[in-house]
Structure 1
Amino acid sequence: MTNVIVAFSKAEDAKNIKNILMKNGFSVSAVCTSGSQALNSADELGSGIVVCGCRFADMVYQEIYECLPPGMQMLLVASPSQWNGRAPEDVVCLGLPLKVQDLVSTLEMMMETMARRRKKLKNQPRERSKEEVDLIKQAKELLMERNHMSESDAHRYIQKCSMDSGTNMVETAQMIMSLINR
């Protein structure tokens, strides 16, 4: 579940938004009445959505947005005259008066977007370090020399052994190196 931080300068507004979100199945991680409280909560959680108003006693939403950790998004709830044309590109804005269904559907959309982004990042292959690339290359060279394989055959052999044993290619290359260099 995505972390949600509710931040409004008036405690009553924050409590009302929190109650609306909780009634609609969202889990609210923190309720804040100042920008610094919102930033502290965001730093602790690392990722999620900050639902906030435009102004606080200590800062405005733009200052909060600029200090948010990379995994956080912002949903600004304010009068259109307060943010019209000045809100950063990736701040989602909802105008007042606020409709509950608009708030709920916007938050759901933001959560789906975050989940898709996380899944996409998770599915990207991890970059190998220079040492790992060199180790695989050495194992291929050893196979090519000792078993008279072409480079593509040696690579395929390491891949197949890796898949058969359920280990990654670096671990398989290490095993090949240790078995051959006894």
Structure 2
Amino acid sequence: MANIIVVFPKAEDAKNVRNILTRNGFNVTAVCTTGAQVLNYADSLDDGVVVCGYRFADMRYAELHDYLPDGFQMLLVASQQYWGECTADNLVCVSMPLRLHDLIDTLAMMEEALVRRRRKLKERPRQRSAEDKEAILKAKEVLMERNNMTETEAHRYIQKCSMDSGTNMAETAQMILSIMKQ
């Protein structure tokens, strides 16, 4: 489920939108009346959707959009006269007067996009640090020198030991180096 933050200048409007969203199965994390409150909540979350109006007491939607962390998208609920300004990425507009099914369908689409993005980030291989790379290279060199292996054979050996023991390659390389030093 996506983290949804609802922000409108009038607390009553924000609570009404929250109630509509929760009745339709969405998890609303916070209800706010100012952009500063949204930024405070957003800093503690990884990603999510901000459902907002055009203007707040302390800023406009464009400023809030610029200050939001990277993982956040914005759903602007405003009249169509403001849509010309909505050219930024991660910004979707829904027209006023608000139609319930438009809001729900649009938010469901945005939530699905966040889920796909999370899945894609999770599947991406992690980058090794410089120390990990160096440990793997040293372990390969030790294996090549002591066991007369080629670099490919040493790499495959470290990979196989890593998979067999359930550790990552850097930890396996550290183990090999500590064993070979004895």
Short-chain TM bin = over 0.9
Would the aligned equivalents of 2:72 and 2:90 in 1 still touch at CA under 8 Å? Answer: no
Q: Unaligned 5+ residue runs, structure 2?
A: none
Match of 1:59 in 2: 59
Give me the whole-angstrom Cα distance separating, in 2, the residues matched to 1:174 and 1:31.
49
Match of 2:101 in 1: 101
Give me the whole-angstrom Cα distance separating, in 1, the residues matched to 2:12 and 2:60.
19
- For 1:74-113, what aligned pairs fall within 5 Å after superposition? 74-113=74-113
Write out the 4+ residue segments of structure 1 that deviate beyond 6 Å after TM superposition. none
Give me the whole-angstrom Cα distance separating, in 2, the residues matched to 1:131 and 1:36.
40
Match of 1:71 in 2: 71
Give me the whole-angstrom Cα distance separating, in 1, the residues matched to 2:70 and 2:90.
12
What is the Cα deviation at residue 156 of structure 1?
A: 0.5
Would the aligned equivalents of 2:78 and 2:93 in 1 still touch at CA under 8 Å? Answer: yes
Normalization by structure 1: what TM-score? 0.94
Match of 1:19 in 2: 19
Structure 1 117/163 Cα, relative in aligned 2: closer, same or farther at 3 Å?
Answer: same
Worse overlay, 106-115 or 43-52:
43-52
1:70-103 deviation per Cα after TM superposition (whole angstroms, max 9, x unaligned): 2211100000102324442320111112111111
Matched, 1:144 2:144: yes
Matched, 1:3 2:3: yes
What is the Cα deviation at residue 44 of structure 1?
A: 2.8
How many residue pairs end up in the alignment?
182
Worse overlay, 4-13 or 32-41:
32-41
Identity of aligned residues (%): 60
Give me the whole-angstrom Cα distance separating, in 2, the residues matched to 1:85 and 1:25.
31
1:9-39 deviation per Cα after TM superposition (whole angstroms, max 9, x unaligned): 1222111111110100111111111222222
Structure 1 90/47 Cα, relative in aligned 2: closer, same or farther at 3 Å?
Answer: closer
Matched, 1:158 2:171: no
Structure 2 counterpart of 1:160, which letter? Answer: K
1:118-144 deviation per Cα after TM superposition (whole angstroms, max 9, x unaligned): 111111111112221111111111111
